[in-house]
Amino acid sequence: MKKWYMVTLVGRDQPGIVAGVAQALYAGRCNLGEASMARLGGNFATMLMVEFDGEIPALEAMLEEVSGRMGLRCHVDAIEAGLHCHIEPDVRISVYGADRAGIVAEVTGALAEAGLNILNLETDIGGTEENPIYIMHLDGVAGRGAAALRSVLETLSREKNVEARLVENDLLMG
Amino acid sequence: MAVLEILVYPDPRLKQISEPVETVDQALLDFIADLEETMRAGPGGVGIAAPQVGCFKRIVIVDVSCKPKIPHHGRLVLINPVIATSNGSVVGREGCLSVPDYTGNVARAERITLNAWDETGAERVYSMEGFEARAVQHEMDHLEGLLFLDRLVSRRDIFRRKVYQKPRASVSKPS
């Protein structure tokens, strides 16, 4: 029976990482599932669902050459894969403001208390070195309704000097 | 009346361009009744296009009246629809009866006017906005062999650019 693994790769970004890793896995008879890859502060970080017949050491060995060549640290975990069972986010929220320590903790803490289950979160730091700004996008499920989240965002916006916006996903099924 | 089988991507027929309807006859009306029944049998479906059931004619049905508090025209049968004008842009999440277990964000015009025949073959003009306009655009894409997958926007591009002014509360109402 085929088994699923989560492969995490982190390293200095350079062209060719995705192709190199994908080719090594394909050559090793792996099947790729869902993946998330991002360039974060000049580093490349990947989480990759891999379906493979063998055990963890064999999968690690398969990735050794490309990891060494491209300066990647590789980590493999056995996982239970849940394909074909996506959870639909029903809200999307953006928050931005002058960058300072604690923004993510304050915003996500308050939203969690108001019932938000975060499915996806991406943050960026923009602006200038002297005046950095923090931009956060998240998708989630409003466990206790969007009104509770909206109320929390209004408070954050007022008290923590951030800009916040919530949009309800009015899913169109056609 | 019958619930028809819905084509599911990667069925290549979903990429086919549909032909205009020449005349409205009883056979066409019977098909439209089946198409509507198929739409209403689907989970949460607010629209359907003829090519989704393998009939490559320019017919779509939209009915968003189940959504609370939005402007709409009720049950709409649009034959040979053509969008005459479109304004604004809004991003919303879409799924499709022909694309199971996946939804994504798509940019659509916020307001449209369109010309179409109704079920008597008479020319009609509609002006619509918001959810109903998005639904019509989604269904009309099927007539061109396009799926919402052809129009996905990146997660990083989904927020409309807008200038906020302090100190008013900047949490806005749903779009």
Q: Kindly state whether B7 is in contact with chain A, defined as any CB-CB distance less than 8 angstroms.
A: no
Query: What does the block give as tokens for B146?
Result: 């396009």
How close, in Å, is residue A22 to chain B by CA atoms?
22
| Structural domains in chain A plus CATH codes | 3-79 (3.30.70.260), 91-168 (3.30.70.260)
Q: What residues of B are labeled active site?
A: 139
> DSSP class of residue B19?
B
User: What is residue B71's three-state secondary structure?
Assistant: coil
Can you give the pLDDT at residue B156? 60
8 A C-beta contact, residue A9 and residue A74? yes
Can you give the pLDDT at residue B44? 86
Chain B, nearest residue to A152 by Cα: B171
DSSP A35-69: EEEEEETTEEEEEEEEEESS-HHHHHHHHHHHHHH
Q: Kindly state whether B167 is in contact with chain A, defined as any CB-CB distance less than 8 angstroms.
A: yes
Segments of chain B with pLDDT less than 70: 155-175
Contacts of residue B175 in chain A, CB cutoff 8 Å?
167, 170
Q: What percent of chain A has pLDDT over 70?
A: 99
Kindly give the pairing relationship between strand A132-142 and strand A91-98.
antiparallel
Can you give the pLDDT at residue B164? 34
Can you give the pLDDT at residue A126? 93
Segments of chain A with pLDDT less than 70: 1
Can you give the pLDDT at residue B165? 36
Number of A to B CB contacts under 8 A, please give it. Answer: 93
Give B14-45 pLDDT, tens digit per residue: 999 999 999 999 999 999 999 999 999 988 89
| Structural domains in chain B plus CATH codes | 12-157 (3.90.45.10)
How close, in Å, is residue A99 to chain B by CA atoms?
17
Give A77-104 pLDDT, tens digit per residue: 999 988 888 899 999 999 999 998 898 9
Chain B, nearest residue to A156 by Cα: B169
Can you give the pLDDT at residue A60? 97
Contacts of residue A166 in chain B, CB cutoff 8 Å?
171-172
For residue A167, give the nearest of B43, B67, B175 by CB distance.
B175
